[in-house]
Chain A
Amino acid sequence: MTARSASILVASFLLIALAQPARHAEGETRIHLDYPDALLILDEGEETCRGKASVSMEAGRHTLTLYPPARDAQWLPPVIARPFELADGESLVIRPEGVHYLYISSIPSGAKIRLNASVAGNSPLALSIVTATDSTITLEQEGFVSRTLSLSEALSQGPHIVVVMDPVAGREVSPLESGVRDNSAFGLPGWFPGATLAYFIASTAVGFHYKARADELYEDYLSTSSIDRMNNLFERAEAMDDRARLFWVTGQAALGTTIYFFIQNYRSRKEERPVPAIQINLSPREGGSIAISFR
């Protein structure tokens, strides 16, 4: 299984399927909810029905807001209220099929997201979509070329899609806008960590050289009986010690800087991963119940 097919599988699990509304001419206009623990609100009123229920209503245009089961409400946005129209004698059946959840982010973020023609919000944005597969999602941002995706195209990329916006011709993109995080966050070039590491190695070696030289001079100091010479040797040994100390201290500082940059780089790479920290996958079991798994 490739990574892409795996992501599609995950995406399909993430979809909380809501049954497509179906019209049935059975004499009475009704709405049938067949979605355990879900909350349905009609026409922005109070709670209309929950779980498995059937509500009679007047024919005509209505708006519908569906809240997923309470245990999912912490991360799933409610179904966007959508107007629909029922003729007299028609009924609408809502099942956990046909609702699509998407988490759309963009580079740069803040792009305006339209669902068909309606503005749904700015990226990043979580969407619960009850619509047909021919719906379109459009991202717009000033200075960037707008991107339009079909719902089926978006769903094929997974529940979390990242849209990279291309700048319009002739516009320079700042690193922050490009979303590319590198070591230049400190205003330093990318080769800087490598240079500090090399400096650490070199300065440590030079420091050891001076330390060995200082040891030799100190041994000479210990074994001389001439007071003039012993003063000279001791001072030179201390001078060599100072040099060794200087190289070691700066080398250690370079090592610390290198480690620091590596840690920061690792963290930034982690932050760029386009998956949430906890991914909750919902998949319908036989019998219509919702299974939750953590990945």
Chain B
Amino acid sequence: MKKNIPPRLILIPALLLSIYGCKGRERANPLDPMNPETGGLPENFNAVAGNSEVLLEWTDLGFADLAGYEILRVEEETGESTIVNTDPIPPMQYSLTDPEVINAHTYSYTLFFLAPGGLPSPSVPDVATPDPTTVWAADFGSPSLRKISPDARDLVRRISGLSGPLDLRISPGGEAIWVADYFSGEARKYDLEGTLMLTLDRSAAGRGLPVCLDIDPRDLSLWIGGRSPDGVSRIDDLGTELAWYPSIGDPVDIAVNSSNGTTWIASRDGNAVFRKLRTDEDFTSIPGFSRPASIACDPFSGRCWIADERGITVIEEGGETAFRLEAFDSPRAVAIDLSDGSCWIAETDGSGTIHHIDPMGVLILSVGGFQAVTDMAVDPSTGNCWLTNVTSLEGEVVKVSPEGRILGRVGRLVDPEAISLLP
């Protein structure tokens, strides 16, 4: 029986093959107003706040006929707009510093692409608030140190080569950054540009794996608490060990009173706080705590704020308890605002709330929206609280105003465990 092959059996696959071989084009030019992703406003432009300056950076988008760039600055408060560059920026230049800015003012910047014979095309604007504050965070997960822009909108610099930074301090004069690098067993000293200045190996760096540290601003000596073996050591600025205190088990935080040199240490396994007056030969144990996690000292009142599983305890310099706040759920971190003696408290993982307490223990405000705050630091010049927070997606650094407003937030960290700032 004759059986013809239906022509569509051949033609339909051929048709589909042809259509597949000639797919539609995407409006992929980032300056194309019909580009579904950019809408004609590319996001290749970044304004990074500095101290009385703003660094403007952008990436090359590969335009062959580009005549150059132009950058518009608008001060948000006054609305005053200015072209930043005096001459057209050539096509091969990808950064510019704007020095004509005032700290604490917020500016919006827009990059314009100058097309030959056509209208300039703008980028997505970016905002920067210059400020003199220097902020560094220790990212245990990366592991690295990250410099944060003073408006908490950008990651500025990265120091890598660490094994597991758990704590860091910027020296009061801004000479150095000390880092407790847990897994390497080292304490490292960097300058503010990220250059390694000194490495203390395990024999000197707390004699154990370094966990916490603080700087005595009066002589720039360094206190390092470590594990295995547990203990605390004091080291001078050049790395020479001055003293070793082995009787302190599992030190997790150190606070040095900058006015008189009194040193406070939270001993987690010892369920105690250790205090050493400058004139004391050794530390004195103050018992009655349950796994203390964080400690902060107010140099003006001499009081020490301790966070443990029961709440917040405030101790006078003499060792007497001033008051106790038990309304908080296992607070994880405390930080003193040196300008007024108030304290910021972060509750334990999962609560997602920080609290601002006045020096008498009265709650000023609470701010939610966090997940696991790991450390805090307060800028005494502004009262802004900086904190490191770990979410389920990433780690971040957040800047909170004294009124509880989020001023800036920068992510792309892994597990930031400590933060330190230089006002």
Stretch at the interface among B11-19, B191-199, B224-232, B273-281: B11-19
A223–B65 CB distance below 8 A: yes
**Chain B contacts for A226, CB-based, 8 A:** 65, 115-118
Number of residues of chain A lying within 8 A (CB) of chain B: 36
A241–B24 CB distance below 8 A: yes
A225–B63 CB distance below 8 A: yes
Chain B window 10-49, contacts with chain A (Cβ cutoff 8 Å), 1 for yes, 0 for no:
1100110111011011011101110000001000000000
Stretch at the interface among A19-27, A73-81, A153-161, A250-258: A250-258
B29–A221 CB distance below 8 A: yes
The yes or no answer to A211 lying at the interface (CB within 8 A) is yes
* Nearest CB in chain B: distance from A163 CB, A: 23
**Chain B contacts for A253, CB-based, 8 A:** 11, 14-15
A227–B118 CB distance below 8 A: yes
B29–A248 CB distance below 8 A: no
**A234-B27 contact, Cβ under 8 Å, with A226-B118, A227-B115, A227-B118:** yes
The yes or no answer to B238 lying at the interface (CB within 8 A) is no
Q: What's the Cα separation between A252 and B116 when bound, in Å?
A: 43
Which of A230, A253, A267 has the most chain B CB atoms inside 10 A of its CB? A230
B14–A256 CB distance below 8 A: yes
**Chain B contacts for A220, CB-based, 8 A:** 64
Report whether over half of chain B's contact residues are helix, strand or loop; otherwise say mixed: loop
Q: What's the Cα separation between A264 and B31 when bound, in Å?
A: 55
The yes or no answer to B4 lying at the interface (CB within 8 A) is yes
**A227-B31 contact, Cβ under 8 Å, with A248-B21, A249-B18:** yes
**Chain B contacts for A227, CB-based, 8 A:** 31-33, 40, 115, 118-119, 121
Q: What's the Cα separation between A251 and B18 when bound, in Å?
A: 9
Q: What's the Cα separation between A267 and B22 when bound, in Å?
A: 35
**Chain B contacts for A225, CB-based, 8 A:** 31, 63, 65-67, 113-115, 118, 121
* Nearest CB in chain A: distance from B399 CB, A: 36
B18 CB contact (under 8 Å) in A214, A234, A237, A248: A248
Report whether over half of chain A's contact residues are helix, strand or loop; otherwise say mixed: helix
**Chain B contacts for A234, CB-based, 8 A:** 25, 27, 29, 32
* Nearest CB in chain B: distance from A238 CB, A: 6
**Chain A contacts for B15, CB-based, 8 A:** 249, 252-253
**A224-B2 contact, Cβ under 8 Å, with A230-B32, A234-B25:** no
**Chain A contacts for B19, CB-based, 8 A:** 245, 249
* Nearest CB in chain B: distance from A243 CB, A: 10
The yes or no answer to A259 lying at the interface (CB within 8 A) is yes
B31–A256 CB distance below 8 A: no
A229–B10 CB distance below 8 A: no
The yes or no answer to B288 lying at the interface (CB within 8 A) is no
**Chain A contacts for B65, CB-based, 8 A:** 223-226, 229
The yes or no answer to B7 lying at the interface (CB within 8 A) is yes
**A244-B22 contact, Cβ under 8 Å, with A226-B116, A226-B118:** yes
**Chain B contacts for A85, CB-based, 8 A:** none
The yes or no answer to B5 lying at the interface (CB within 8 A) is yes
The yes or no answer to A119 lying at the interface (CB within 8 A) is no
B64 CB contact (under 8 Å) in A224, A244, A249: A224
Q: What's the Cα separation between A207 and B21 when bound, in Å?
A: 10
Which of B10, B17, B28, B113 has the most chain A CB atoms inside 10 A of its CB? B10
The yes or no answer to A144 lying at the interface (CB within 8 A) is no
Chain A window 19-55, contacts with chain B (Cβ cutoff 8 Å), 1 for yes, 0 for no:
0000000000000000000000000000000000000
The yes or no answer to A228 lying at the interface (CB within 8 A) is yes
B interface residues (Cβ-Cβ under 8 A, vs A): 2, 4-5, 7, 10-11, 14-15, 17-19, 21-22, 24-25, 27-29, 31-33, 40, 62-67, 113-119, 121
Q: Give 27 A-B contacts (CB < 8 Å), ordered by A residue.
A: A207-B22, A218-B25, A222-B29, A223-B64, A223-B65, A224-B64, A225-B63, A225-B65, A225-B66, A225-B67, A225-B114, A226-B117, A227-B32, A227-B121, A230-B29, A230-B31, A230-B32, A231-B32, A237-B25, A241-B22, A241-B24, A245-B22, A248-B21, A249-B18, A252-B17, A256-B10, A260-B5
* Supplied contacts A230-B29, A237-B25, A238-B25, 12 more A-B pairs, CB within 8 Å: A214-B25, A224-B115, A225-B65, A226-B117, A229-B115, A234-B29, A234-B32, A238-B24, A241-B24, A252-B11, A256-B11, A271-B2
A interface residues (Cβ-Cβ under 8 A, vs B): 207, 211, 214, 218, 220-231, 234, 237-238, 241, 244-245, 248-249, 251-253, 255-257, 259-260, 263-264, 267, 271
